[in-house]
Amino acid sequence: MGDVVSTHLDESKRELITARTGEVIGEFGRLYEQQYVVALFNKVRFDIEGGGGPQPQLLRRKVPLQDKSIFSGTLFQYLEENKKWRNRFLFIPDSYNVNFYESKAGYEKGLHPKGFINCAGYRVLTSMDQYLELLGNSLPGVKAKSSSSPFLKCPTQFPLILWHPYACHYYFCLVAEKDQLKWSAVFQDCVRHTNNGLSEECRVQTPAFTDAVRLYRQAHGQYGTWDMMCGTPPQILANLVMEKLLPELRDLISPRLKGKLQERLRSWMLISDAVYRLVQSQAKAQYEAIVQSCEAGSPPLEASIRTDMDQIITSKEHVTSKIKALVLPKAEKLLKVSIQPYISSILEALMEPTSRGFFEVRDVFFRELVDMSKNLLNDGSKEKLGEHMEKISMLAFHPVKMQSCYEKVEQLSLEGLQQRFDVTSPSVFVQRAQILMREQMDDAVYTFEQLLHQGLEGQEGQEGQDGQEGEDLCKVIQRCQDRVIKKFDYDSSTVRKRFFREALLQIFIPYMLKQLSPSCSPELPSFQELIFEDFSRFILVENIFEEVVLHTVMKDIMMAVKEAAVQRRHNLYRDSIVMTNSDPNLHLLSDSSPIDWASEYGKEQVDGDAAKQEDAEDKDKDDDEDPAVQKRRRMKQVVSMIQEDGPGLPGDSCLEVPGVEDIPEEVEAEAEQSVESEAPVSPDVTAKVPNGTSSNNSAGLLNGNDLKMEQAAISVDQEERSAAPATEASQEAAEKPAAESPAADPAVESAIQEIENAVLEEDCEESVAPSTQEEAAETIPTNQEPKAPLRAEEEPVVKDQEQGSPKASPDKVDDGPAAFSTPQEDERKPPTREDVVLPSQQQGEAESTSETPAESDQPTGEESTAGQADDSSLQSPAPEATEAEKEPMPIHSQEKHSDSVVGEEDSGKGLSTEPVNEM
């Protein structure tokens, strides 16, 4: 490998590389120095005059990934030095650089990694055909085939390749398709993060750098978007140099490459990587010198700007009016002919996938909170809350959880417009939208954390019973969720509208500049004479020319986006809707310290003494360890934090990382849920699943209000009961749930005890009882039929009924949204007996209300705004009492079940009340 590089990169080639790098960086440096002064002037002017768009409603996390890592695991990697596949342990810290070690033990010992990958500019490929198609374009006249390259043969059917146009390529293999999808999502997240290397907080360096790069490329006739504008400034400059240098080197070196096809391709990749690393090191040193020189001269410039601000602005406005008189007629003509007909179509192509991606972010956030609430209904302890919140806090940085959101935006296509407006590919807009989606998700999660923590602090000292504590937690969660969803909808609309405007400008401005520059640029130097010499560094005619063109097309872009918001097709707020200081107390929480849910509400708080003892032991160990090893050991992993426990795959390539391979994909989770719902449930076996519901999904749940109404109805009906057989059946049905339920609620036990006492009193008082069920039916009002005893399949779900299921009996209408079931889940449920509508039931339904239940657990944007204070979507509200409920009820109807109507028909006909297995 070293011989190939040293042979073809001799001294003359290295001198050529150094010379070309110096030329490019020198020209870029002159542009950067000019744009640095202009950016400094714009920054000072903004500080003085202020301005900006609508105020964001969500809070922003200051340090998103503090003490967190992204992912780690073991997989096969191809090594160039010995042309063999070896197991390697990969660890991805918060910097998103991929570090690889020989083994996990080496990582845990604190050894230095064997290497690392900076993913900026890379593409993640999952098939050899994709890779060989890109590889064939690296050398002229070479077309690679998968069978012609022995070193490209993978030991498994699931390859994963990182491809770069200049740097070396990395080859990985995995043993299962599930692992391939998981690692592909992780690598794509690394590429997405590292490509966004320019910080927006640097309000002078970042605009100066981007404008200098753009002006350099325009000076060489390249006006369109650039895919390699990714990574840190030295990496972008290296890409700028390689764009000019690599074709020249390829013409010199490729004829001298010897060997077969695969050997020539391999040699060229090694040479290209060596050249790229050399150019990057030289570009980094020269760029740092340029920035240091500019920053050293910025204090006197800033003082001069503040002193002469008014005069500078007046001079600039005068020159702008002169340039506008020259440019405006030509720009308006070009705008009318070549831009306006395409604005609406391009905007629609941008809005459709982007809005779907943001809607998916909203749904993922909503589902995570609903799942947490469902789990807390069974176990509403603060310890469980801490565990769930520890996982949700890093939801935005979970590559697998966010992959469904990112995939929606990847459908963006600008086909037919790329050649006209010189757009190389939509990847620039896709990655920008994905970064905005991740930021919005993290803002929503962080705001929810702060609101929930504030709500829990107000609840301290008000803990009640165990069941009541779970209900109170769910109410607090629901209130915080409604507030955050409302703020998310507003911020999402603001962010998307700004993204659409920026994307349209990036498409149209380069095209207009390319068309107008030949006729306008020669006349621009004459306007420089209108600027005072003292202000000539702050006012550049080239920048004013671009500003005039920008303002010309900006009016039409703003109008198009405004019309799209009025149509409300993509849930965009109109510009007239401005939420300023809508929640002033919320922004006081932005300066709060990060919340450590595990230590404040988790096991560490419950097991105080044990935790202190373990901390003391860990501290003794830490005294003997290296600080880097301590940081690695205490670092929490984002991906493994948000997962569901389950059995791992045999032979999994990630077996060295506990729990990482257990992250279920959405398709698999839905399949498992479908199988569970279709499988028959044994009457004597019931187990609570992780989402907090019973394994028998056909039973309805009751909230605490329904239970109180049940108890009140029972106490009224005790005086009018006269059916002894029904009483005995009811007593047996009431005893079975108490005996079979592993963790009965105290409220249920007290209700059952009251029923038993009432039954004993009636046995002593009543001397004559009806002998048949027909005689018992005569004592029941005509508008109500006798109810059959509980079936064996539904007896173990009494605990779940108190926790609020949205599913109600056919003759009752549930007024609240079905927060625990979705249309997809309802379709997977097998048909039950309560689904059968009997003739006697139809008359009762005709008298009942015609209101329809909620269709889904996900409210629209308007519903979340209107129902912000409504905390009933996480539990079914108590339905209004109908006339049938106000009449006396039989003693055996102590609990409400969805199959009560079927039971009434059965009991009225004298059928057997033995348990009936569901179909």
- What local confidence, expressed as pLDDT, does residue 518 receive? 93
83: phi > 0 → left, psi -120 to 50 → alpha, else beta; which? left
Average pLDDT, whole number, for the chain?
Answer: 73
Q: Is the pLDDT of residue 692 over 70?
A: no
What is the per-residue pLDDT across 118-177, written as a single tens digit (0 to 9) for each? 999 999 999 988 888 888 777 766 665 555 555 578 888 999 999 999 999 999 999 999
* Residue 419: how many other CB atoms lie within 10 Å: 10
Q: Is the pLDDT of residue 467 over 70?
A: no
Highest mean pLDDT among 276-280, 461-465, 815-819: 276-280
What is the per-residue pLDDT across 179-232, written as a single tens digit (0 to 9) for each? 999 999 999 999 999 998 788 888 899 999 999 999 999 999 999 888 899 999
Instruction: Give me the phi and psi of 293, to 5 degrees please.
Output: -65, -40
> Percent of the chain beyond pLDDT 90?
41
Query: In sequence order, what are the beta bridge partners of 88?
Result: 75
Question: Can you tell me the distance from the alpha carbon of 524 to that of 547, in angstroms, rounded to the nearest whole number?
Answer: 13
Closest CA to 368 of 493, 292, 477: 477
Q: What is the mean pLDDT of residues 90-105?
A: 92
Q: What is the mean pLDDT of residues 288-295?
A: 96
How far is CA 233 from its chain centroid? 28
Tokens of 687: 């187990």
Question: Can you tell me the distance from the alpha carbon of 325 to that of 312, in angstroms, rounded to the nearest whole number?
Answer: 20
Question: Can you tell me the distance from the alpha carbon of 557 to that of 582, in angstroms, rounded to the nearest whole number?
Answer: 29
- Evaluate whether 77 touches 86 at the Cβ level (below 8 Å): yes
- What local confidence, expressed as pLDDT, does residue 760 receive? 66
* Residue 711: how many other CB atoms lie within 10 Å: 15
Q: What is the mean pLDDT of residues 687-699?
A: 38
Q: What is the mean pLDDT of residues 14-36?
A: 96
- What local confidence, expressed as pLDDT, does residue 62 receive? 83
Asked whether the CA dihedral 472, 475, 479, 485 is positive or negative, the reply is positive
How far is CA 501 from its chain centroid? 23
Q: Is the pLDDT of residue 830 over 50?
A: no
How far is CA 892 from its chain centroid? 49
Q: Is the pLDDT of residue 383 over 60?
A: yes
Strand arrangement, sheet containing 84-92: 115-117, 98-101, 84-92, 71-79, 170-174, 158-163, 123-125
> Percent of the chain beyond pLDDT 70?
60
- Evaluate whether 60 touches 324 at the Cβ level (below 8 Å): no
What is the per-residue pLDDT across 883-904, written as a single tens digit (0 to 9) for each? 444 444 443 444 444 444 444 4
What is the per-residue pLDDT across 550-589, written as a single tens digit (0 to 9) for each? 999 999 999 999 888 887 777 787 765 655 555 666 666 6
Q: Is the pLDDT of residue 483 over 60?
A: yes
What is the per-residue pLDDT across 733-743, written as a single tens digit (0 to 9) for each? 444 433 343 44
Question: Can you tell me the distance from the alpha carbon of 475 to that of 458, in angstroms, rounded to the nearest whole number?
Answer: 13
Closest CA to 92 of 635, 627, 634, 594: 635
Identify the residue whose tokens are 């990969």: 90
Contacts of 549 (CB under 8 A, 6+ apart): 327, 331, 509, 512, 513, 516
Question: Can you tell me the distance from the alpha carbon of 313 to that of 45, in angstroms, rounded to the nearest whole number?
Answer: 9
Q: Which residue has the higher pLDDT, 860 or 116?
A: 116
Vertex 543: Cα angle to 538 and 546 (nearest 5): 160
Tokens of 367: 């589902």
- What local confidence, expressed as pLDDT, does residue 559 receive? 92
Q: Which residue has the higher pLDDT, 261 or 405?
A: 405
What is the per-residue pLDDT across 362-381, written as a single tens digit (0 to 9) for each? 999 999 999 998 888 777 67
Asked whether the CA dihedral 245, 249, 254, 259 is positive or negative, the reply is negative
- Evaluate whether 120 touches 232 at the Cβ level (below 8 Å): yes
- Evaluate whether 433 touches 361 at the Cβ level (below 8 Å): no
Tokens of 824: 């997809």
Q: To which H or E segment does residue 908 belong?
A: helix 900-908
- Evaluate whether 387 touches 645 at the Cβ level (below 8 Å): no
Residue type (1 letter), 266: R
Give residue 69's pLDDT band: very low, low, confident or very high (50, 70, 90).
confident
